[in-house]
Amino acid sequence: MKQGHFESANQAEWQEYRALLAYLDSAGKGKAGGGSADRTAASLDRFPRLFRRISSHYALARRRGYSPGLIAELHDLVRGGYAHLYRRRPRPLAAVLAFMARDFPGALRRHASLFWLASALFFLPMVAMGLLAYADGEILYSLMDEDQVAGLEAMYDPDNRKPGRARERQADTDFAMFGFYVFNNVGIGFRNFAGGLVFGLGSAFVLLFNGLHIGAAAGHLSRLDYGETFWPFVSGHGPFELTAIAISGAAGLLLGKALVAPGNRPRLSALRYNAADAVLLVGGAGLMLLFAAVIEAFWSSGPAPASVKYGVGAAGWILVVLYLALAGRGDPSKGS
């Protein structure tokens, strides 16, 4: 068949397909409207069939050696339709709830061993450093210089109006502190994850470093008898924040594992495979850190008595454990 005949025989279908494509392109941007749009929407049922027709036209045009211009034109038509037909549907906002209720804890349980490894890298140095700093007042200075120690002590001075906040932040509102905690803490979680790409070393370092620092601060402040401001302050958001840091570390270690021990896949596809789960973990950890920031800003430095704060902290730990261990279990739709 000559090109001219081919073109005139199929021109009608190409026109219809072009109109549908233009409609789909504009529908995404919310510009569609009017009666013609309704008519086009009704004929969208024909789009997949037309797409397959145009695909075969494109293949024929190449096979038969039609002109490069026509081939390029058909290629663009196919490519435009392909992007619409095979697009991953963006998840609506409600899916965030389903994600937190099912996907995130499920992904964490699939990688429980890495979570325990990350927790060990984080909590063991924390406890050890805490005990050391409590016993020995000098050891803190191996981690921080004098200014940092002074700043730390000032934050938890029992005379502060708002415990847990640096002197220059005493006047800031709770909301300002919320912004600060989100900016700082969620950022740490994300960097913790990204560091895992360096064979897991970055995540291991962030976990160790933060574990040592938090432990040293806790031990040092307890030694100074600032414990009565420090412990009630951290008890509220601690369960969520500390667990989330460990989880984002586990997400980083999951990336590192793909490079160090890819199993029976090539490293690149192991990385891609693990990254799909790792992003679930880091997304969940990010939301947990966001929740922790809400508590830290609006509750932790509040006026509630210490016993209530300890109670909230204990409830938080129970909630975190139950949530991560049980949420989304027995869900029939869960694959893999």
Residues lying near other proteins in the complex (CB under 8 A) are found at: 2-5, 51-52, 55-56, 58-59, 65-70, 72-73, 75-76, 78-80, 82-83, 86-88, 90-91, 172-173, 175-180, 182-183, 186-187, 190-191, 193-195, 197-198, 202, 255, 268, 271-272, 275-276, 278-280, 282-283
User: In terms of CB distance, is 81 or 211 closer to other proteins?
Assistant: 81
**CB neighbourhood size of 270 (10 A):** 19
Q: How far is the CB of 202 from other proteins (least distance, A)?
A: 7
Of the pair 154, 259, the CB lying nearest other proteins is at 259
Q: Which two tokens mark 110?
A: 């699939």
CB of 325 to other proteins, least distance (A): 25
3-state secondary structure 96-157: HHHHHHHHHHHHHHHCHHHHHHHHHHHHHHHHHHHHHHHHCCCHHHHCCCHHHHHHHHHHCC
What single letter denotes the amino acid at residue 129? M
Q: Least Å distance between CB 186 and other proteins?
A: 7
Q: Percentage helix, strand, coil, to 5, in the chain?
A: 80, 0, 20
In angstroms, what is the minimal distance from the CB of 172 to other proteins?
6
Nearest to other proteins of 131, 276 (CB atom): 276
Whether residue 300 contacts residue 306, with contact meaning beta carbons closer than 8 Å, is answered with no
* CA-based torsion, 156, 160, 164, 170: positive or negative: negative
Q: Name the minimum Å distance from CB 91 to other proteins.
A: 7
Contact predicate 299/236, CB 8 Å: yes
CB of 181 to other proteins, least distance (A): 9
**Which residue in 50, 32, 49 sits closest to 41, CA to CA?**
32
Question: Of the two residues 130 and 256, which places its CB atom closer to other proteins in the complex?
Answer: 256
At position 41, the amino acid (one-letter code) is: A
Nearer to other proteins by Cβ, of 133 and 247: the residue is 247
Residue (206 or 218) nearer to other proteins, CB = 206
